[in-house]
Amino acid sequence: MTRFTAWNVFWQGMTGQKGWTRQWRDPEPKAHYDVVIVGGGLHGLATAYYLAKTHGVRNVAVLEKGWIGGGNAGRNTTIVRSNYARPGNREFYEHSLRLWENLSHELNYNVMFSQRSHIALLHSPGAIDAASRNYNTMRLTGTADAEIWDLATLKRAVPHLNYAADARFPIMGAAVQKRAGTARHDAVAWGYARAADARGVDIIQNCKVEGIARDGGRITALDTSRGRITAGKVAFAVAGSTSLLWQMAGLGRLPIESHKLQAFVSEPLKPLLDQVVVFGMGGAHFYISQSDKGGMVFGGDLDWYKSYAQRGNLPIVQDVAEAAMSVLPCLGRVKLLRHWSGLVDMSMDGSHFICKTPLDNLYLNAGWNYGGFKASPASGWWFADLIANDRPAPMIAPFDLKRFERGLQIDERGAGPDCKLHG
Amino acid sequence: MLRIDCPFCGTRDHSEFSYGGDGSVTYPALDAPMQDWHDAVFLRENICGRQVETWHHVHGCRMWLMVERDTMTHEIFSTRPAHPGLASALEAAE
Amino acid sequence: MTARRLDKGGRIDRTRPVNFRWDGLTYRGYAGDTLASALMASGQTVLGRSFKYHRPRGIMSAGVEESGAIVSVGADARHEPNVKATMQELYDGLEAKGQNAWPNVRFDLGAVNGLFGRFFSAGFYYKTFMGLPPFEWGRGTGLWMQYEKLIRKAAGMGRASRAPDPDCYDHAHAFCDILVVGSGPAGLNAALTAAEAGRDVMLVEQDFELGGDYLNDPAAEADRAALVAAVERAGIRILTRTTAFGLYDGGVAGLVERVTDHLAAPDPHLPRQRFWTVRAGATVLATGALERSIAFANNDRPGVMTALAARSYLNRFGILPGQRIVIATTNDSAYGVAGDFAAAGAEVVLADARSDAASAPEGVSLRPGLAPLAVLGRRGVEGVRLAARSGAGWSEAAREDCDLLLVSGGWSPVVNLSSHRGAKPVWNAGLACFLAGPTEEPIHMAGSTDGVWNRDDCAASGVAAARRAMGEVAEAPAPGGWAHPIQPVYEVRLPGSKVKAFVDPQHDVTGDDVRLAHQEGFVSVEHLKRYTTLGMATDQGKMGNVIGLALMAEALGCEVPAVGTTRFRPPYTPVAIGALAGRNVAGHFKPLRRTPLHDWNLRHGATMTEAGLWQRTWYFARTRETIAEAYIREATTVRETVGICDVSSLGKIAVQGPDAAEFLNRVYTNAFSRLPVGRARYGIMLRDDGIVMDDGTTWRLGEADFLMTTTTTNAGKVMVWLEELLQTRWPDLRVHVTSVTDRWAGVSVAGPKAREAIAVCLDEGIDISNDALPFMGVAPVSLKGGVKGLIARISFSGELAYELYVPADQGEAMMDLLWPAAERLGGCLYGLEALGALRIEKGHVTGAELDGRMTIDDAGLGKMASTKKAFIGAALRQRPDLTRADRPRLVGIFPKDRRQSFNGGALLCATGKVAGFGDGWITAVTHSPALGHWIGLGYIAGGHEAWAGKAVTAADPVRRGNVEVEIVSPHMFDPEGVRMHG
């Protein structure tokens, strides 16, 4: 593997770029792996990387039915933050953010994590109190970058928002996480793939799992479009297909429903917005940032109805455009370049699962709702830990499938058992 | 845009409706054991393909409907009132 | 390129000159020009700069695929970046500027980037900018973020206005049997066929004139005119300047109509653009095909364009774009173009990559077997080196001087819209293009969209598509139609040469970039796209995708379809965000809900606040009063005399029917079956999971007639919930629910003199004494002047209090009676802030306490959960974690030093252990007029009994810092409720 450095970029530029090699191999699947990870998204690839790196488990395959990073890895709005307040989520996402902060160096791949601040607009005294509770929690749990801004501070930092006094929802302040920001989503997938591959992990693309062979409480083999693969341990990290694989493994129902979430990008513009700005008021939900290429990247709510189609509909396009104009009225003449949608596995409390399953050697990583992108480093870290040690570390103990029986609440929104409300 | 044929109002944009959930879930009696309630409230089949689901014509007649829809193609096959009495009354009227 | 306007010919109106400005200088064009054609006729060649290398770029096309002439249009708040000059109609006073360049597009210092082009290969930025060069030393993101600032400045294209868009946009809705997209030979015939068969047809054309390819051919004008006339007669709804940008579920198309973008002085009443949602029974896509280029050295120079584009400038706009023209083609379509230019007096060399081509048109010098290898000239075309096939590659064979190079590398049918529907395009090797894939939906391809090249066949294809759209069986012309088959050429280069041969010119993606992607393993089409950014520019791959795929296929040694196809996503061409938002902006963003007393309140000095979608009274400041002074005065007045508060926004639901009591019994945790007529009861409802959903009082008006009230926030949610329960879970219950929130204007009249204030407003003989209307009593009431309503003795403030409801339109009449009566007694009007103070003193909960995570026991209302009957949530509320002894409980909070205040949102921690998640939190605070100091409500593990006498810190690092507090019972004022029962 050629190391990625300014020197090598220079040297390869001088010598015709001949020295760059495949960033990951294209191996034929072996007949057996110690661990088979199903799903070549961010979570699966990160898991493979940490299995190989931290736990020394190197006879690992990542099976991807299409091309790696082709699911939600490449369909999100790339926001990274850790402004969660519920015990469980708080520590998990903070750990994830810490991994993000050094991820480019860790992977020797520029994932362009830009800690440009995440700014949630606040519009009422009650909203400021509610946000203060969460941001106080962040402060007291070791996150010094949580702040509540008054209007004057906000205006200085983000000058082009809608500060009209007669705005539909006048802005009163903002809740700010300064270490939060955005990253280059594809690079994360490729970076993990390259680093995992370098440690011996086989990344096998165009390999669809079509059947699961069981011997009682164990999975013995996966029947794939590229042949049968036997596995010591099997791990699912397949957002959007979790329920389908779960049922293929002969298991029952999950506290998950698949929905689609649209995302939007505008034509490239010279710098207009330097932070991530989030708006939530009057039933609307909207978030926007500007990519390094210049496109305004934004999104809003789910399409509200369950779906397995990566294809959105106009009502949400309109809703999101309305919110965009409400937050940044100068966007009227900016043109939408592209909108698409991803499949999100919405869970019953808006929190995820990294857990053991009813089968001895099957592990589940699922239910990321809106939050999967920012979670991916910690998700991979702790999923690898779970797979390697066959027991959940305290960090992920809350995130099992039985928590609803216990009545454990990790419900950031307080929305209750209706998946679609946890956006 | 899904176009939902409301048995009371005619075919309308889905933005007039709100999606409820999996229509195959049957809720247990109020005094049923906790596990029954857990399963009904928290666990979902999450079908990829044809499923029966509830929709509420919230900006229309406010009737809850049972819609048979493909969750992959979004094609809608049938629509009927969720209330069985109304459904059979409509059927009889046809 | 030495373009000049011809004296005659074209569709422009030479009698109507139009002045416009380009980069500050005034130029002249004609009505019927686009900005691109007018600039070309004015001799302007460099109109843009490329994204990465800042290479000079000119006009490359005559349509939506334009990748060179991308400019900014308009001034100040109407400044629009990234406008394709080829799509901008000229109007008098139009102001356009070059962009992505400094100081200007003709001389751009950014072009220095080109010198470093050898380093700026695909994806180079993933390999560096991480740390300190040259070896990327360091940790964290600090250095990257410094680089990022520079990168962001260099990237982007145009600059967006910072001022709010002053124009408005409309939404329009339409239905039709058949939607025809595109008005070329196929579209016009399709529309006409369907309309003549009696179908309701909409015809949509992105250009400002109907005709499509007819517009480029003067010889076809008679045919075009006849067809257009027939279409107009046939009652077809025609939308020009309208782009069908996306196809969605259910036969829905999204269109955007540019209503005034072409007008010098638009009627101010017109929207700038109109966003149409069209629901079509069937859709015919006659969207044509786009000509593609070939990758060869410097194929991006100003003066290189597609052959059809040049034909359009010649025949439609009356411009001869060059005098010595080389046309490089791989197919028959350029022969007509060559003939047209020869006839117009240009010297034309036609280089056909095929060696067995047809005979040359008159006046054209045909050079078979040659393809373009490299453009000569830096800022324009001075000549072209041509290559001949040599084994598997090419070798240089000739050189032609020229000032214009036209290229036809083949044609790509516009299958974008069908791809939106998930129909995967299918590669047709014979025609070297993708055709629309099969779909079950009623979407039909017509004309060149279906790979049909000849005009007569396109017409027949349109007719057939219309008939299929009407459910008939119709034989369509087979794709193709050229006398000699295309021999696709995607790239021409000499082995080992290092040149810039662009695949996607807008993003500066070269053939070498594609090969580097292959070398590094980015071989699937989506990886290729994402790694090189091929196809991600503002044309979304219209120019370059097929070439990129072909080069990747060559690198892999496979056929094009094996690489895959990217799925096109809406919109087909970029759409203004303003248009998508339509009128739902500014004050019209989200419905604004006002109570029937809104105006009355404003007249009486109310300041309003947001409560969900509602505007509610916040406080009524008297002269020079601050909000704090106002609410403290209001709350004090309520405790001392009487106050009136608008509570009309509370949800009100009529629950009626023989089983209404049973229904309420199931919905609420407490029992309602024995509630007597004429009495109200406070109730709490849970969600299925046992968490509190909402609370409110329900009044029994008759045996089978209840009026339920809900919180303002949850009114809609509770209504939907009740309807769901009745229609899906308990259809056997004979109950009907009706939302009557908007029917009533309601006030709370609270304070020791409340009865007195109300009594004088009532008709003679109506008794609201304690005996006649005891605590929680409900009665019909009639006010003086004939206003009839309901009165209930309910208290949220803890005072003697009534809620008085009258029909919404009589609300002001009620206030005009009540307010003078209260004022005479020394009373006041009060808003939410005072209401909050009063209820906090009493420990009454609202949404801040019931945040969707609390149990009924947490809120200290456990006694309200019946043990004798089952109710919604009864089972799951018993789950172990919800019944733990250390659950948070509702408590009151006093500052230890009574002079101090504190904030909502502070965490409650045992003093000395201010860390972690704390033991509780504060939900709401107020200055308590009754107690004379600040108080708060909140939750803390185990409740106030567990914290009696213990030191607690209210930690609020994000705002105020730490304040020492005491934990007390939540019932901080009049805990026995003496006052409200009085």
The interface pTM score, or ipTM, of the predicted complex is 0.98
pLDDT more than 90, % of chain C: 96
Same domain for C82 and C215: no
Q: Which residues of A touch C847 (CB under 8 A)?
A: 126
Same domain for C636 and C765: yes
Whether C2 maps to a domain, the answer reads: yes
Q: How many CA atoms lie within 13 A of A69 on its CB side?
A: 22
Test C250 with B2 for CB contact under 8 angstroms.
yes
Give the pLDDT score at C1: 63
Mapping DSSP onto H, E and C, the string for C186-233 reads HHHHHHHHHHHCCCCEEEECCCCCCCHHHHHCHHHHHHHHHHHHHHHH
pLDDT tens digits along C608-645: 998 889 999 999 999 999 999 999 999 999 999 999 99
Taking every pair of Cα atoms in chain A, the longest distance, rounded to a whole number of angstroms, is 67
Span C6-11, mean pLDDT?
96
H helices then E strands: how many in chain B?
A: 2, 6
Q: Which residue of B has its CA nearest to A252?
A: B45
Of A149-153, C108-112, C287-291, C428-432, where does mean pLDDT reach its minimum? C108-112
Those of residues 247-266 in C touching chain B at CB distance below 8 A are 248-252
Q: C591 to chain B nearest CA, in Å?
A: 14
The first and second tokens of residue C929, run together, are: 């007029």
Q: How far is CA A84 from the centre of its chain?
A: 14
- Whether chain C has a CB inside 8 Å of the CB on A148: the answer is yes
**Strand, helix or coil at A250?**
coil
Angle in degrees, CA C617, C622, C626, rounded to 5: 80
Span C927-952, mean pLDDT?
96
- Structural domain that includes position C96: 1-156
pLDDT at A266 over 90: yes
Same domain for C393 and C360: yes
H-helix or E-strand spanning residue C619: strand C614-620
CATH of the domain at C832: 3.30.1360.120
pLDDT tens digits along A295-330: 999 999 999 999 999 888 999 999 999 999 999 999
- The rounded mean pLDDT for chain C is 96
pLDDT at C566 over 80: no
Confidence of residue C96 (pLDDT cuts 50, 70, 90): very high
Span A273-294, mean pLDDT?
94
pLDDT at A234 over 80: yes
pLDDT tens digits along A377-405: 999 999 999 999 999 999 999 999 999 99
pLDDT tens digits along C825-866: 999 999 999 999 999 999 999 999 999 999 999 999 999 999
H-helix or E-strand spanning residue C154: helix C142-154
Span C528-538, mean pLDDT?
94
pLDDT at C57 over 90: yes
Same domain for C104 and C11: yes
pLDDT tens digits along C191-219: 999 999 999 999 999 999 999 999 999 99
Confidence of residue C117 (pLDDT cuts 50, 70, 90): confident
Those residues whose C-beta lies under 8 Å from the C-beta of residue C744, and which sit 6 or more positions away, are: C648, C652, C789, C790, C805, C806, C807, C808
Terminus-to-terminus CA distance in chain C, angstroms?
96
Rg (CA), chain B: 14
Give the pLDDT score at C338: 97
Same domain for C233 and C138: no
Alpha carbon dihedral A165, A166, A169, A172, in 10-degree steps, equals 10
Give the pLDDT score at C358: 76
Asked if residues A329 and A169 have their Cβ atoms less than 8 Å apart, the reply is: no
- The ranges assigned to domains in chain B are 3-93
Span A246-251, mean pLDDT?
97
Give the pLDDT score at C672: 95
Test C878 with B34 for CB contact under 8 angstroms.
yes
Same domain for C258 and C146: no
pLDDT at C982 over 90: no
Q: Which residues of A touch C118 (CB under 8 A)?
A: 13-14
| Order of strands across the sheet that contains C828-829 | C778-783, C787-792, C801-807, C744-750, C643-646, C828-829
Terminus-to-terminus CA distance in chain A, angstroms?
40
Asked if residues A287 and A261 have their Cβ atoms less than 8 Å apart, the reply is: no
Query: What gap in Å lies between CA B64 and CA C724, rounded to an integer?
Result: 7
Q: How many domains does chain C have?
A: 6
Those of residues 131-150 in C touching chain A at CB distance below 8 A are 131, 133-136, 138-141, 144-145, 148
Whether C532 maps to a domain, the answer reads: no
Q: Is the peptide bond before C103 cis (omega within 30 degrees of 0)?
A: yes
Span C551-558, mean pLDDT?
95
Same domain for C695 and C655: yes
CA distances from C934 to A131, C902, C914 (A): 21, 7, 22
Of B43, B48, B72, the CB nearest to A253: B43
Same domain for C4 and C82: yes
Give the pLDDT score at C114: 85
Same domain for C402 and C449: no
Same domain for C353 and C255: no
The first and second tokens of residue C318, run together, are: 């009356």
Whether C185 maps to a domain, the answer reads: yes
Whether C589 maps to a domain, the answer reads: no
Confidence of residue C749 (pLDDT cuts 50, 70, 90): very high
- The rounded mean pLDDT for chain B is 96
**Disruptive mutation site among B2, B15, B19, B44 for chain A (greatest number of A CBs within 10 Å):** B44
Confidence of residue C251 (pLDDT cuts 50, 70, 90): very high
- The topology under which CATH files domain B3-93 is Folate-binding fold (3.30.2270)
Whether C522 maps to a domain, the answer reads: no
Whether C453 maps to a domain, the answer reads: yes
Span C714-731, mean pLDDT?
97
Those of residues 220-249 in C touching chain A at CB distance below 8 A are 246, 248-249
Confidence of residue C958 (pLDDT cuts 50, 70, 90): very high
Test C157 with A268 for CB contact under 8 angstroms.
yes
CATH of the domain at C945: 2.40.30.110
Test B54 with C728 for CB contact under 8 angstroms.
yes
Test A115 with C580 for CB contact under 8 angstroms.
no
Give the pLDDT score at C500: 93
Confidence of residue C543 (pLDDT cuts 50, 70, 90): confident
- Whether chain A has a CB inside 8 Å of the CB on B26: the answer is no
Span C349-373, mean pLDDT?
93
CATH of the domain at C728: 3.30.70.1400
- Whether chain A has a CB inside 8 Å of the CB on B18: the answer is yes
- Whether chain B has a CB inside 8 Å of the CB on A244: the answer is yes
Confidence of residue A110 (pLDDT cuts 50, 70, 90): very high
pLDDT tens digits along C376-420: 998 899 999 999 999 889 999 999 999 999 999 999 999 999 999
pLDDT more than 70, % of chain C: 100
- Whether chain A has a CB inside 8 Å of the CB on C738: the answer is no
Terminus-to-terminus CA distance in chain B, angstroms?
28
Query: What gap in Å lies between CA C620 and CA C634, rounded to an integer?
Result: 8
CA distances from C673 to C314, C661, C667, C725 (A): 86, 5, 12, 18
pLDDT at A73 over 80: yes
Same domain for C228 and C329: no
Report the candidate in A115, A89, A113 with the shortest Cα–Cα distance to residue A103.
A113
Query: What gap in Å lies between CA C297 and CA A395, rounded to an integer?
Result: 57
Same domain for C2 and C129: yes
Give the pLDDT score at C41: 97
**Disruptive mutation site among C50, C126, C908 for chain A (greatest number of A CBs within 10 Å):** C126
- What string of DSSP letters covers C320-338? E--SEEEEEESSTHHHHHH
pLDDT at A423 over 80: no
Report the candidate in C780, C788, C665 with the shortest Cα–Cα distance to residue C730.
C665
Q: C785 to chain A nearest CA, in Å?
A: 37
Q: A89 to chain B nearest CA, in Å?
A: 20
Test A339 with C121 for CB contact under 8 angstroms.
no
Give the pLDDT score at C587: 86
Buried/exposed C665-696: b ≥16 CB within 10 Å, e otherwise: bbbbbbbbeebeebbbbbbbbbbbbbbbbbbb
Query: What gap in Å lies between CA C353 and CA C389, rounded to an integer?
Result: 8
